[in-house]
Amino acid sequence: QLQFFSSNFSYWNQDFVKQSLLRIGAEYRDARDRWTLFLHNRVMGNLVILNSLGRPEQITQAQNVLSAGGKHKLRTGKWNLHSQILVQLASNTDVIRLPRVQFQENLFWETPFRKSKTLLRIGADFMASSAFTAYGYQPWSGLFYRSNNTE
């Protein structure tokens, strides 16, 4: 989508080098699948991003994202609590902006729907993250871009 784009608002035709992605990771799960610990590393080469003007730009330096975390599932009767914590480190935070820490809780009640194999879930999700400068959004292209503005 970033090679060529045309709309009533903008147009670009770029000749970018092919992007590359290398993913390496490890996970440990307990025997009951209640706990999961993981460590992942992603190396992205020739990454194409949208700069602060909303134009595509290719970053030729390799970008590295290291993430580690854990997941926990707890079930009591029909009530479930799923927790996850994630710690992320990016090699260049000007290019890849991620919160350092993310936390997510899912609390829900689960039961078979009308005695079928379909499950009915009713619950709430809670998410929190450390402070970071988020990306802006261009509705006409459907893409996120680097933005230094805060609202």
**What pLDDT score does 31 carry?**
86
pLDDT in tens, 42-69: 999 998 888 877 778 888 999 999 999 9
What pLDDT was estimated at residue 11?
A: 63
Percent of the residues in the chain that have a pLDDT greater than 90, as a whole number: 56
Sign for the CA dihedral angle at 7, 8, 10, 15 comes to positive
Say which residue, 133 or 14, is predicted with more confidence.
133
| pTM, rounded to two decimals | 0.75
- Positive/negative CA dihedral, 126, 139, 149, 151: negative
- 1: pLDDT confidence band, cut at 50, 70 and 90? very low
117 Cβ neighbours under 8 A, 6+ residues apart: none
> Exposed/middle/buried for 73, CB within 10 Å: 0-12, 13-18, 19+?
middle
- pLDDT of 26 reads 97
